[in-house]
Amino acid sequence: MFGLKPDVCHIPSPDEVYSLEDYEDGVARWCPGCGDHGILTSVQKLCREKQLAPEKTVFVSGIGCSSRFPHYMNTYGFHGLHGRAFPVASGVKFRRPDLNVFVVTGDGDCCSIGTAHWIHAIRYNMNMTVLLLDNSIYGLTKKQTSPTSAMGTKSNTHPHGSVLPPINPIQTTLGVSNVSFVAQTADWNPAHVYETIKAAYEHPGFAFVRVVQRCPVFMRDLYDAAVSDPTALTLLTHDNGIKVHENVEKGFKKIIQHDPGNIHKAREYAEISDSIPIGLFYQNKNAPRYDEYGAS
């Protein structure tokens, strides 16, 4: 009306910027001291750093303490049946490849009733970030032996101690054809947890992360000593591996230089028994992806 072109008075809106609060939803109901709290914080920090749009992000879980995760993320979520997180997540990714898909599962959910789905999800290698929160016990159902419980673990199902050797989730994943990313971290080292989840998210394929975590109620003594013992963790490091600040690395007494392209060494280090190896065991960015087949 003043003789100016319409676009001269247009004030462009700034791009939306998401804060940490944009990913928070409710108060987590895990027990005080549970490792899940710190893992949740790391995931929310990752979402903020990567500026993942909540409406373009989905968290899928099965059943268990860990599987309450979607309730505490202000994103889309699917709290599914016991052991069925992987087929749900695969269906979401196949139909909506534009979404950021995360799977949060537990040692019982993934390594027991969900084992068949876990194995084939590794082989399909669809682009998703998978967090196995492993506290070596069935927590939600109140202390039953899980597939990752060490021999001799006393529980409500084995009051005299479990009698079978546990599954090694890292070794199992490394043994499946078309595996593309396998890493491990520990909940009491938040800097390493964050960097590991970040590397997993950036990987183009099925990124499997086992998070060794504490259960302060039913497995209180399992990792108590490890938290304060600098020799309890062995850091796998490499230029192509999980990168942490040099000040964090200085806190490790045991460090192994490991090329994550060497699957044979990865399998060897997965069997370390005198400490907990953390870092990137294996990565192959060129492994075939079933979601790319579906999009063609």
Residue 3: per-residue pLDDT: 46
Separation between Cα atoms, residue 79 and residue 60, nearest integer Å? 6
Residue 213: per-residue pLDDT: 94
73-94 per-position pLDDT tens digit: 999 999 988 889 999 999 999 9
What residue ranges of the chain have pLDDT lower than 50? 1-5
Residue 1: per-residue pLDDT: 40
Of how many residues is the chain composed?
Answer: 296
- Strands of the sheet with 276-283, listed across from one edge: 76-79, 57-61, 100-106, 128-134, 206-212, 181-186, 276-283, 233-237, 254-257
181-204 per-position pLDDT tens digit: 999 999 999 999 999 999 999 999
Residue 170: what residue type?
I
Residue 9: per-residue pLDDT: 54
| CATH class of the structural domain 30-220 | alpha beta
Which residues partner with 138 through β-bridges?
A: 144
Residue 140: per-residue pLDDT: 85
- Cβ contacts of residue 97 below 8 Å, gap of 6+? 127, 291, 294, 295
Contact between 282 and 288 (Cβ < 8 Å): no
CB burial class (10 A; 0-12, 13-18, 19+) of residue 59? buried
Bridging pattern class, strands 181-186 and 276-283:
antiparallel
Residue 121: per-residue pLDDT: 97
For the chain, domain boundaries: 30-220
